[in-house]
Structure 1
Amino acid sequence: MTWRISSNGRLERLVVFLGREAVPVGELVFQGAGRKRTALFRYARSWLEDVERRRPLSLVGLPLVAKAKDGTPYEVPLPFYDAAPDGWGKSVLEAAYPMQVFGMGEFLAAAGDERIGELRFGHDPSEGPEQWEPRAPSVVLPDGSESLEDLVLAAEAVDAGQAKPRHLAMLLRDSADQGGARPKARLRHQGVDWIAKFKAWGDGFDNPRMEAVCLSLADACGIVPPEHHIQHVAGRSVLLVRRFDRTATGERVGYMSAATLVKAEPGTYSTNWTYATLASAARQSGIVPCEAELFRRMLFNCAVHNTDDHLRNHAFLRGDDGRWRLSPVFDVVPNASKTMVLRPTPDVEATADIDVAFKAWPKFLLTQEQALEIRQQVEDGMRRLPEMLDLHKVSAHDRETLAPLLPTLGTQTTPRP
């Protein structure tokens, strides 16, 4: 059996698999002829009858029933957007296959099998997950021997709009399944899965180094970050972040963005949701209560001026016990905007100011004493900013550039020898 493709080159059906064992659990069937088509998802009878393992694929949008689930008004049910490439991955695929019309079906199938989370895709339940290649690919996939330096230069070329076929080939293999808007690629080193994050064209400072600083500061403030470190490759900084959707033994971990939890429209940035209402929605959905943690992260985001705190930059992971919990913090870096995407509460303004955000504490099921303790821990951690800037070798130029966004930096803009 091969991929089911329409006369105009569009995928009509995807089989959905789950986890490392690649258990076939259902299928997506696409309808219509336009660029954006609507898919029906239906669980496989074998999955519904598997009393030992059966479970919904997500807390939201995919109840464990025999009836097909319509993706309307979107292309696919919302949980599948978390498994799909986003801005960066989509740009790589569209550049690699310029003659192919891409919708969600094609993006899901062509992105490869190392996507975030535990969902996988293929064309036949008996053959397991597989990456789809359009009929007329413009590049030839490499053999996997490319180095980190090769990936850095390839990502830089794509980001600058100067990609050659060899650049696209590498990134199609190692980057097309990635979410987010910034350049990145997957990397496996000494048996561990990492995401390599690169500088982007037009960055006003060394973004990878500053993200490393923010992740280290998060740890100092009592927030769990993923393992991370900086490498200097081909004259560029590269941030390596250990994947938290894979266990040490290679098991795939269920992943759900906050956007999916609250049923936000795919592709939207601004939102009426707030940190407090997100915490409430998580509790009501059976997620391990996270009011105190989201309050802490809100204060921290204000402190580091991470105003790009949209709903896809918050996520939940499925634990071994079947319960969902907040993921480690990720995509944290200073931004010039003074306004947070997520307000603290509906009645507290979205200014990136820890004093303003703190006023929201009564909405997080905290006592004032607990709220003050969390704030003190964040402020104590932020006093280590100069130390973290030195640890990750942030330049004097970047310190001066970022000083207006980071009041705790004060006048310490010169790296220590």
Structure 2
Amino acid sequence: MKLWVDVQLPSGSVVPAGTIEDIGGRGRGRGGGRAGTVSFSYAPNYLVSPSAYPLAPSLPLTPGTFSPSGSRAMLAGLADSQPDLWGRRLIDASRRRRAQRAGAVPSRASEVEILAAVPDATRQGALRYRLIEDADAGHVAAAPLSRTPTLMELDTLIAAAQAFEHGEEISDDTAELLAAGTSAGGARPKTNVLREDGSIALAKLPRDADFGDAMAWEATALHLSRDAGITVPTFELIRVGDRSVLVLDRFDRIHETSGAGQRIGYLSADSLLDKSPGELRTYVDLAEAVGRESSIAGDTAELFRRAAVSLLINNVDDHMRNHGMLRSKSGWQLSPAFDINPFYRHGAVESTPISDVDDPARRDIRNLFDAADAFRLTRAQGIELLREVERATSRWREVGAGYGLTSEGLGAMAHAFEGQNRERVREL
């Protein structure tokens, strides 16, 4: 399979940026990646355009063919418009249903086929895809989506996601509604929904395996992060029966009442660092990359705040797919923070370490203070930011109660917020 890769520029125009294709066993490209994945080449006209920008630091604006580096299956940058783990499960299920109806054995999808399976209307970022063989057909390589569900259908979506997670059969119509969420990050059930004004939002759905009211806890964490001086998406917590749904504005869209809205380029930290699966990268690595690529002078300081929040509320889900950057006319800048979740147990999960001397299972906030210079901060600035974040997150009980968390639920999560790192900041 071979596709045109189009990009919507910050100016609003959509231009062909290059082509991507499955290469089977035909060898390696300039990225040195493994055979049997994909290759990408920039379009000659894009290379000479004054408004062009590299789709990722590992894809410089030069002629030639690129393939994924290391053990990556997809090129950095383009991987961010592929489906997440939840989306891949939905796509695999859809392929199995189609194969069963045809009396065939479902085939394994290639990386480009997976890329093309995400609905174009809700795909993350500014990249879009077209079939090479049919240049006049528009962006039809993406799976068709007759409609995006609305907020009025949240109860249906919760029931459908629950049934799907339990391995139950769901109807094609219901599967189509869930498919609108195949391009956002993570394994949590989710889907895109339309607000009354026509703008697209992301609805994160509860699941049976959650510890407590997970969506209320994520709303609490976003609220505390905002109080700590961190940019977060506009969000609301909606009660559906006895369950909570977290609805967040899409920060990769600029909504326009006259149409679908401007798409904004998105680059995950995973793509920014061109990280291979299983490769351990640190906050210091990310700070250095953000310092090189960001057009906003304060982005490294905000990243310092984000790392501090994660350590003070025991957010262990802060891997490099859960940090990102957006493209503006002036260049790259940090996206709003997202997927911030307190975890009730310390030392149970390995997370992004602060630096090479940090233990990823028992992260020490003093290592963040010691690494302040990597975030372009003085030690005095570092300690002041830590104090600000500590003060903001210390209000977790009050904020959590405001999102409907019970005394029992607050007590069950207390260890996440009142750990050693809070004591260490107070000692500093």
TM range (shorter): 0.7 to 0.9
Is residue 112 from structure 1 mapped to residue 119 from structure 2 by the alignment?
A: yes
Whole-angstrom CA distance in 1 between matches of 2:303 and 2:350: 14
Corresponding residue of 1:308:
317
Corresponding residue of 2:75:
77
The sequence identity of aligned pairs, in percent, is 30
2:300 corresponds to which of 274, 291, 302 = 291
AA at the equivalent of 2:61: L
Q: Secondary structure at the match of 1:97?
A: helix
Is residue 347 from structure 1 mapped to residue 336 from structure 2 by the alignment?
A: no
Whole-angstrom CA distance in 1 between matches of 2:294 and 2:338: 23
Whole-angstrom CA distance in 2 between matches of 1:125 and 1:61: 28
Count the aligned residue pairs.
383
Change over 3 Å in CA distance of 1:240–1:388 after alignment to 2: same
Q: Secondary structure at the match of 1:230?
A: strand
Is residue 208 from structure 1 mapped to residue 215 from structure 2 by the alignment?
A: yes
1:281 corresponds to which of 289, 295, 301 = 289
Change over 3 Å in CA distance of 1:160–1:283 after alignment to 2: same
AA at the equivalent of 2:193: L
Q: Secondary structure at the match of 2:40?
A: strand
Corresponding residue of 2:268:
257
Corresponding residue of 1:186:
192
AA at the equivalent of 2:4: V
After superposition, the C-alpha distances for 1:144-165 in whole angstroms (9 at most, x for unaligned) are 4662222222112112222412
Whole-angstrom CA distance in 1 between matches of 2:336 and 2:221: 13
Q: Which runs of 5+ in 1 are unaligned?
A: 1-11, 134-139, 409-417
Is residue 30 from structure 1 mapped to residue 22 from structure 2 by the alignment?
A: yes
Q: Secondary structure at the match of 1:325?
A: strand
Contact 1:27 1:43 (8 Å CA) reproduced: yes
After superposition, the C-alpha distances for 1:251-308 in whole angstroms (9 at most, x for unaligned) are 111111111111111x43x61x221221112223455443322221111111111022
Whole-angstrom CA distance in 2 between matches of 1:64 and 1:360: 33
Change over 3 Å in CA distance of 1:357–1:164 after alignment to 2: same
Is residue 364 from structure 1 mapped to residue 375 from structure 2 by the alignment?
A: yes
Q: Secondary structure at the match of 2:413?
A: helix
Q: How does 1:314-393 map to 2 (within 5 A)?
A: 314-321=323-330, 323-335=331-343, 336-338=345-347, 341-350=351-360, 351-355=362-366, 357-393=368-404
Corresponding residue of 2:7:
18
Range with bigger deviation, 362-371 or 101-110: 362-371
Instruction: Name the TM-score, length of structure 1 as normaliser.
Output: 0.85
Whole-angstrom CA distance in 1 between matches of 2:226 and 2:379: 23
Whole-angstrom CA distance in 2 between matches of 1:390 and 1:201: 22
Change over 3 Å in CA distance of 1:395–1:119 after alignment to 2: same
Cα deviation for residue 329 of structure 1 reads 0.8
Cα deviation for residue 231 of structure 1 reads 0.5
Q: Secondary structure at the match of 1:229?
A: strand
Change over 3 Å in CA distance of 1:349–1:254 after alignment to 2: same
Corresponding residue of 2:91:
93
Instruction: Name the TM-score, length of structure 2 as normaliser.
Output: 0.83
Whole-angstrom CA distance in 1 between matches of 2:182 and 2:77: 19
Contact 1:215 1:225 (8 Å CA) reproduced: yes
Q: Secondary structure at the match of 1:153?
A: helix
Q: Secondary structure at the match of 2:158?
A: helix
Contact 1:84 1:179 (8 Å CA) reproduced: no
Corresponding residue of 1:5:
none
Whole-angstrom CA distance in 2 between matches of 1:279 and 1:56: 20
After superposition, the C-alpha distances for 1:148-204 in whole angstroms (9 at most, x for unaligned) are 2222221121122224124323212x1223331111100120232211001123112
Q: Secondary structure at the match of 2:326?
A: strand
Q: Secondary structure at the match of 2:254?
A: coil
AA at the equivalent of 2:357: D
Change over 3 Å in CA distance of 1:387–1:131 after alignment to 2: farther
Q: Secondary structure at the match of 1:247?
A: strand
Corresponding residue of 2:130:
122
AA at the equivalent of 2:140: E
Range with bigger deviation, 252-261 or 156-165: 156-165
Cα deviation for residue 52 of structure 1 reads 4.4
Contact 1:218 1:225 (8 Å CA) reproduced: yes
Corresponding residue of 1:226:
233
Q: Which runs of 5+ in 2 are unaligned?
A: 27-34, 97-105, 420-428
Change over 3 Å in CA distance of 1:325–1:93 after alignment to 2: same
Q: Secondary structure at the match of 2:247?
A: strand
Cα deviation for residue 72 of structure 1 reads 5.3
Change over 3 Å in CA distance of 1:233–1:224 after alignment to 2: same
After superposition, the C-alpha distances for 1:191-223 in whole angstroms (9 at most, x for unaligned) are 322110011231121111100000000011111
Cα deviation for residue 22 of structure 1 reads 3.5
Contact 2:288 2:374 (8 Å CA) reproduced: no
AA at the equivalent of 2:333: R
Corresponding residue of 2:41:
42
AA at the equivalent of 1:151: L
Contact 1:303 1:353 (8 Å CA) reproduced: no
Whole-angstrom CA distance in 1 between matches of 2:198 and 2:242: 26
Cα deviation for residue 340 of structure 1 reads 5.3
